[in-house]
Structure 1
Amino acid sequence: MPDTASRSLDDTFLALPLRQLADAALARARALGADHADFRLERIRDANWVLRNARPAGMQDTTDTGYAVRVVHSGSWGFAAGVEMTMDGAARVAAQAVAMARLSAKVIAAAGSDERVELAPEPSYGEQTWVSAYEVNPFAVADSDKTELLADWSARLLGAEGVTHVDARLWAVQENKFYADTAGTMTTQQRVRIQPELTATAVDAASGAFDTMRTLAPPAGRGWEYLTGTGWDWDTELDQLPTLLAEKMAAPSVEPGRYDLVIDPSNLFLTIHESIGHATELDRALGYEAAYAGTSFATLDKLGTLRYGSEAMNVTGDRTVEHGLATIGYDDEGVRTQSWDLVKEGVLVGYQMDRRIARLKGFERSNGCAFADSAAHVPLQRMANVSLQPAPDGPDTEELISGVRRGIYVVGDGSWSIDMQRYNFQFTGQRFFRIENGRLAGQLRDVAYQATTTDFWGSMEAVGGPQTYLLGGSFMCGKAQPGQTAAVSHGCPSALFRDITILNTTQESGR
C-alpha cells in the first residue's frame, strides 16, 4: 500500500475527450436555438468487499461512464444521454435534448399551461477544479489489503465470548464529473467516499434467541486512512462491541410510556435526515415529489413563521463541510456550493433549492442543490449536508444524562417510519440505555420513539457542545421517478428531549 496517494484527478478520467465533447454538444445546442445548455460527463467507480465470519463472501467493482446534455428551449426542459465518445455522438445527443424540449413545449401548451422554465442567475466561474478531502484513495489500495484488514477485525470479534457470527463490509465510491455550460462555467471534480461496517451476531443455542450489534462509524467523505487511524477509533469500538452485545442479549424489554431522551448523534442524524432534511427541500414543499416520496408540512407560506422546534434548534444546509458526503465544489448546474440557515432559533428560515425552483419562487439564486447520480439521469434538487448545530459552550453527553431522572439514552440508527408529509414518525436504534436519576443503569431492548416533527423538536431542551458533535450520514438517500440515490451527511451533537412517547416494538408488531 502506498504511504500516500495523490489527490490529483484520475488519469483515466482525464484521458477522455472532455472538452471536445462538451464543445461539440454545446455548439450544437446553441445552433438549434437553446436558451441554455449544459454538458455533464461522469465516471463513477463503485466497489464493495464483503466478508462472512472472516472469509470473503463477495466482491463487486463496477465503473459507469457516460455523458448527458440538458437544455432549456422554447421554455421547456430537454434532456438526453449517451456513451459514444465522439464529437458527432455528443452533437447528436444535444440535438436529441433539443428535440425533447420542443416536444415537451408542445405538450405543455396543449395542456393549457403557460409555465416556462427559467433559471435563477449564477455567475460564470470559468475553469475550476475541485477534489474532495481525503488522504489515500481506497482504489489505490490493493484488494488483498482491504480483505486482510476486514478479516483481522472480524477474527477479533469472533474470538470474543458470545459472538457467533460477524459480517463485514467495505463500500467505496470514486465519482468524477466534468461540467460545462453555455454561460462559460467549466468544472472538473473528484469525490471519494467510504463506508466500513461490521455487524456482530449473538445466538443463544438453548433458546434460539439472537440479536445483533453494528459498529457506529458513519460513512464519510474520506479515504483509506479512515480505516487506519484518521477519523475513527476502531480499536476502542471493536473492543467494546462484544460486551455491549452480551448486555443487549440479557437486557429487559422496555416498558412503554413517556420518557426523557438523550439521543446520541449516531442516532439523531437519521431523524434529522427524515424530519428536517427532506421536509426543507423546496421542490417537495411545493408538491413536486407528491407521487413518490411525499410532500412536506413545511410549506412555503410558513417560511419565517413556522415554529419548527425549540430555541435551541439551529440547523444549516451545507455543501461545503469537510468530509461531508454531499460536499462538492460546484453542483450539477454550475452553482458554487455554500452554507446557509434552514432553521434559526427554532423558526423555519430557509429551504434547499436548485436554479429552476429558486427562480420560480423569486429567490435571488440557487444554493447549489442540483445533483444527478449518473450521466443517465437528469439533475434533481437533492439534499445538502443538513446539520443541527451544537451550543458553543454546551454540555457533554454525560452532563445531559445527569439532568434526566427517568429516561433512555439512544445510540446508533435502526429502522424508521415517517408519513408522506414528513410529520408523524417513529425511529428505533442500535443500543438503548436506561437512565435512572442521572446515571446509566443498563441496556433495554425493543425501544422505538414516536412523535410529530414539531412536537419532537419543540421538546428539545438542550443540545451538547462541539465535543459531542459527529457527522453521520448515508450513502443511500432515494428520490424521484425514475429513482436516484445520493450520499448525504448530517452533523449533530447529543441532545436532550423531554417527555417523548416510547413504544415497545415487540408489542407493536404483535398487535
Structure 2
Amino acid sequence: MPHEVDQSFLALPLRPLADAALARARSLGAEHADFRFERVRGASWRLRDARLAGSSDTTDLGYAVRVVHGGTWGFASGVDLTPDAAAKVASRAVAMAKLSAQVIKAAGSDEYVKLADEPVHGERTWVSSYGIDPFTVPDEEKAGLLAEWSARLLAADGVDHVDASLLTVHENKFYADTAGTVTTQQRVRLHPQLTAVSVDDSSGEFDSMRTLAPPVGRGWEYLTGTCWDWEDELERIPGLLAEKMRAPSVEAGVYDLVVDPSNLWLTIHESIGHATELDRALGYEAAYAGTSFATFDQLGKLKYGSELMNVTGDRTAEHGLATVGYDDEGVEAQSWDLVRDGTLVGYQLDRRIARLTGFERSNGCAFADSPGHVPVQRMANVSLQPDPAGLSTEDLIGSVDRGIYVVGDRSWSIDMQRYNFQFTGQRAYRIRDGRLDGQVRDFAYQGITPQFWGSMAAVGGPQTYVLGGAFNCGKAQPGQIAAVSHGCPSALFKGVNILNTSQEAGR
C-alpha cells in the first residue's frame, strides 16, 4: 500500500512560512524566489564483532529562501518557524543578491542569471516506493539483526572480525515558488553492509570480503523480505574470503574483462556520471571531482564508447537513491539519454545551466542536502542500459578465452578530467577457456574513459541488471552529500590493462 506524507510534517507551518517569505521577496523586486522547508532524519548503527560500537539519530530541520534579484543569486536560511522570521530570511536573501551583484560587477563580469522555463505544476505530493519505514522498527530489532548476522559470520572458520553497519534516512521536503508550483515529498532510503576480515597469524597478511547488497530507496523490508537474498550471501562470504586469502597474485597484462554490475556501477559513476554534469563540463564546478573531458562543444559528436553503449539519466527509477517527484527548483522528474549508440547526446542540468546553454528545459538535477545549503546541480540515477537480447553473466564469461571477472566495488582512482582511471573490486577470478579458474589478488583494471567504453564488446541482458549506488557522493563548497543509484548489466570489455597492485606499490 502506498504511503502518505507524515502528518507530523504536514502539521508544521509550511504554507504560512512560504507565503510570508515569497511575498517579501516579491515586494523587494525579486524576479524569482523559491522557498524550501526540509526535515531530514538520519540514523546509523555500527557493530564490531557483533557488539554495538556506535549509533546516532539526528534530525536537520529548517528552511531556505533563494532568489534571483537583478540577475544575481541570493540565498539565506533559518530555523525560526514564524512568518515574520521567514520574511526576514527572504530579506536577507535579497540583500545577499545585491551584495553579490556588487562583487560580480567589480570582477568585470556581466553574467545575468536567468532560469529555463518550467511548467507550473500547482500543488503536488510525491512519496517514494517503500514498504516499512525503518524508523518505525525498534532500534533493538535493527541492532539485533546486525548482531545476529555478524555472529553467524564470526562462527565460520577463517573469519576473525566482522564489521556491520546500517544507515537509514527519512527525508521530507516542501517547496513553493513565485510561479505557483508547490510540492510536498517524502523519501526513505537505507544502506546495510557487513564486512568479514581474515588475518593470517603466521604471515600477518589480512584481507576482507564485503556484502554486495547495494544501498536502495526501500524500507526495512529490504533486510527481512525477498528483495535481496541475505541468507545466500552470508553463507557464501566465509568460503569466498578463505579462497581469496589463498589466491595467487594476478599476473599483470592485457586481458578481456567481464565486469559484474556490483563493480561496474562505480565505474559508471566516476567516468560517466560526474563527466556529464554540465556545470563540470563548462568549468563552473570543480570541487571534489574536477571538471570533465566531455566538454559542451562535443555534444552530439564525442564518441564516448562502442555502439552498444546506451546510458540514461533518470530521476524516476523505482527505488533509485536519486529518484524524486520534483527537484529543488520545482522541475518534474524525468528520464533522458546521456549517451546513445556510443555518442554523447545529453547532460545533467539545472534551470540556470539549461538556460545558459540553450536547452529549453532543465531535466531536474537541482538538489540541496539540507535546508542550510543552496541547491546545486547534482547527479541523477545514471545507468547503462542492458541489451534486450543480451547474454547472461555466465555466457559472457563463457565467450572469453583469457580474461578476468571482477565482482564488487572497492578502491578507485580517477583524474580531475574524468579521463584516466583505475578500479579494484571485492574479488576477481581468472577466466580460462570460458570457465572461472579461481580467484586472484592484487588486481586493478586501468583505462582511459572513451577507450575503455569503446572496448565494450557485449552488454548483458535484463536478467543481469542490478541497481547499485552510494549514499555519499560529494560535491560543491561548502561540501554537500547526495545519494545516487546506477543501474547496469554485466558487460564484456576487450583488451583491458590489468595491473598488479602489489608490484605497482613496490616501485
Q: Does the CA-based 8 Å contact 2:261-2:487 persist in structure 1?
A: yes
Q: Is the counterpart of residue 363 in structure 1 residue 376 in structure 2?
A: no
Instruction: Give the residue type in structure 2 aligned to 1:371.
Output: F
1:415 maps to a residue whose letter is S
Offset at residue 203 of structure 1 (A) = 1.1
Is 1:146 matched up with 2:142? yes
- Is residue 2:151 matched to residue 1:155? yes
- Aligned match of 1:461: 457
Secondary structure at the aligned position of 2:53 is classed as: strand
Q: Are residue 76 (structure 1) and residue 72 (structure 2) matched? A: yes
1:84-142 deviation per Cα after TM superposition (whole angstroms, max 9, x unaligned): 11111100000000001111112222222211000000011111110000000000000
Are 2:287 and 2:475, in contact at CA under 8 Å, matched by a contact in 1? no
The counterpart of 2:466, out of the listed 449, 470, 483, is: 470
Secondary structure of 2:363's aligned partner? coil
Q: Deviations over 1:44-82 (max 9, x none)?
A: 001101111111111111001010000000010000011
1:346-403: CA deviation from partner (whole Å, max 9, x where unpaired): 0000000000000001100000000000011000000000000000010000000011
* 8 A contact 2:13–2:81 mirrored in 1: yes
What residue in structure 1 maps to residue 264 of structure 2? 268
Q: Of the candidates 187, 190, 196, which is equivalent to residue 186 of structure 2?
A: 190
Q: What amino acid maps onto 2:401 in structure 1? A: R
What is the SS of the residue equivalent to 1:34? coil
Alignment match of 1:331 (pick from 312, 323, 327):
327
1:437 alignment partner in structure 2: 433
> What residue is the counterpart of 1:346 in the other structure?
342
Task: Using the TM superposition, give the Cα deviation of residue 10 of structure 1 relative to its aligned residue in structure 2, in angstroms.
Answer: 2.0
User: What is the aligned-residue RMSD (CA, Å)?
Assistant: 0.9
**TM superposition shift of 1:9:** 1.4
Q: SS in structure 1 opposite 2:165?
A: strand
**Aligned-partner SS, 1:191:** strand
CA displacement at 1:285 relative to structure 2: 0.2
Q: Give the alignment partner of residue 136 of structure 1, picking from 132, 139, 149.
A: 132
How do 1:65-464 residues align onto structure 2 when only pairs under 5 Å count? 65-290=61-286, 292-464=288-460
| 1:211-256 C-alpha deviation (Å, 9 max, x unpaired) | 1000000000000000012321100000100000000000000011
Q: Deviation above 4 Å: which 4+ runs of structure 1?
A: none
One-letter amino acid of the structure 2 residue matched with residue 231 of structure 1? C
Partner amino acid, structure 1, of 2:335: S
Q: CA deviation at 1:193?
A: 0.3
Question: Residues of 1 paired with 2:156 and 2:191: CA distance?
Answer: 24
Residue in structure 1 matched with residue 477 of structure 2 by the alignment: 481
Residues in 1 aligned to 2:448 and 2:501: alpha-carbon distance in whole angstroms: 18
Matched, 1:502 2:498: yes
What SS does the aligned partner of 2:19 have? helix
SS in 1 for 2:256: strand
If the length of structure 2 is used for normalisation, what is the TM-score? 0.99
CA distance in 1, matches of 2:460, 2:432: 20
Contact 1:34 1:73 in 2 (8 A): yes
Q: CA deviation at 1:15?
A: 1.9
User: What is the TM-score normalised by the length of structure 1?
Assistant: 0.98
Which of 1, 4, 7 is matched with 1:11 structurally?
7
Unaligned ranges ≥5, structure 2:
none
SS in structure 2 at match of 1:363: coil
AA in 2 matched with 1:45: R
* Superposed displacement of residue 291, structure 1: 5.5
2: distance between equivalents of 1:232 and 1:332? 31
Structure 1 alignment gaps of length 5 or more? none
Is the 8 Å Cα contact of residues 7 and 137 (structure 1) preserved in structure 2?
Answer: no
- State the shift of 1:13 in Å: 1.6
